[in-house]
Amino acid sequence: MEGLIKGLADVAFGGRRHEDENTKEDENTVEQQSRSSWAEVVSGGDQDGEQNYGGNTNNRRNEEGDYGRNEEWGSGSSQSTRRPQKVVNERYQDNRQNDYNQSRPAQQTEEESNDGWETVGKKTPKRHQQVKKDDWDNFKRPASEQQYSAEVEDNSQLEPSENELNDLGQACNKLWELDYNRLTPGKDYEIDCGEGKKTYQKQDMAEGSLFTWVSEDVLRKPTISRFCSLLDNYNPHEGYKEQVTSEEKQEQAAFIEEICRTAPIKYLHKYLCYKRIVSEDVQEFKRLLTSLWFDLYGRGGTSSCSSAFEHVFVGEIKERGEQSVSGFHNWLQFYMEEAKGRVDYQGYIFPRRRGETPDSETQLLTIQFEWNGVLKSVSSTMIGVSPEFELALYTLCFYMGGEDNHIELGPYYVNVKCYRLGNKLGSAFPIADE
């Protein structure tokens, strides 16, 4: 009898142990499948599609109204964020934005990342880095006390040709050719365009960030590092008077000094000299650039609350009526704000003609995003170009062009929109043209 009872007990308990082992094996299988799915999401891949980046500006106007005016000056409604970000309508103080914590080129999984970043409804970038700000304090010193890079050689390439002087488009394309600091996709940075959408669509079509990584060497480039140091000098809310400190003025002067040593700005100076916009005096030219880009003016009914630099490169949030984002066309500002969780990239906007979709090699993008919880339904930006190129391009169009400037920039057909506020530069940005 004892043997029979013991045998039955062994069968019962042995069967339970066998079930437990099977359960553990099933759980391990599910966990491995889950990790595999997450790895697939993180690694991602190019999305197939029918659209090609580019499009007819006239079609945009016919179907959606004036593309440029809707983007910058229109009263289009904004949508509140569906995933509240860490910073929502934060009022910047005098010591704004402590650190630009960025991604470091080291592989990390979401579980391993404990560097203080907060996931805001998005998968984390594949690689993480931090922006080196070692020299940023030095940029606040008087311009005469700072060290600058060597001036580019003054060769025949910097001399405008007769054709370029008679054709703004050729002059703008020459600036593209002279942008020696333009970055190379895949070598200097990587983007993930996600999926496309129409401007009126509200769903987020990008499961991750636009920027996967940017090389630390890029952020040490003289004009780029000086440009980045200027981005935290502004209150992004339209209508708030800007208080420009003496140190910030020195940052501005040092930035102008640095870019005036580059090929695009030297070419711009020569071009404006031929057109008798400015004299050959380099100091006068620097004063012209400083005034055009950094002098404060009124916007939204408040005086001394905005500037061309703030609007075009940094961006502003309109407070009248429903909040909306205006300006904000610079890729470096986008990268910085995205890394800090203030920008939520939501996908690219479908172009007007069929073909290939934009990919990691594309350097002219029309996108949709939220900034500080406020939607910008359509925005355009040139990825990887240098600050000196953009500043030279928009300055040239301001002085020599009109509101619409249909040009070619390398492989891209572009309409550079240029709006004036009296004798000031109100806004400037590129639109993909056909």
**What letter would DSSP give residue 329?**
-
Helices (H), 313-386: 331-339
Contact 5, 13 (CB under 8 A): no
Coil vs helix vs strand at 310: helix
Query: Angle formed by the axes of helices 263-274 and 168-177, to 10°?
Result: 160
Q: Is 376 a catalytic residue?
A: yes
**What letter would DSSP give residue 312?**
I
- The residues pairing with 326 across neighbouring beta strands, listed in sequence order, are 316
Distance of CA 43 to the CA centre of its chain: 22
Which residues have a Cβ under 8 Å from the Cβ of 404 and sit 6 or more positions away?
57, 415, 416, 417
Coil vs helix vs strand at 413: strand
Which residues have a Cβ under 8 Å from the Cβ of 183 and sit 6 or more positions away?
189, 218, 384, 385
Coil vs helix vs strand at 400: helix
Which residues have a Cβ under 8 Å from the Cβ of 2 and sit 6 or more positions away?
none
Distance of CA 250 to the CA centre of its chain: 25
Q: Is 329 a catalytic residue?
A: yes
Distance of CA 257 to the CA centre of its chain: 24
312/316 Cα distance (integer angstroms): 9
Determine which one of 318, 329, 340, 424 is catalytic: 329
125/291 Cα distance (integer angstroms): 38
Contact 292, 425 (CB under 8 A): yes
**What letter would DSSP give residue 314?**
I
Each residue of 103-130: b (16+ CB within 10 Å) or e?
beeeebeeeeeeeebeebebbbbbbbbe
- Pairing between β-strand 127-128 and β-strand 196-197 as defined by DSSP bridges: unpaired
Determine which one of 221, 269, 286, 311 is catalytic: 311
Q: Which residues are catalytic?
A: 311, 329, 376
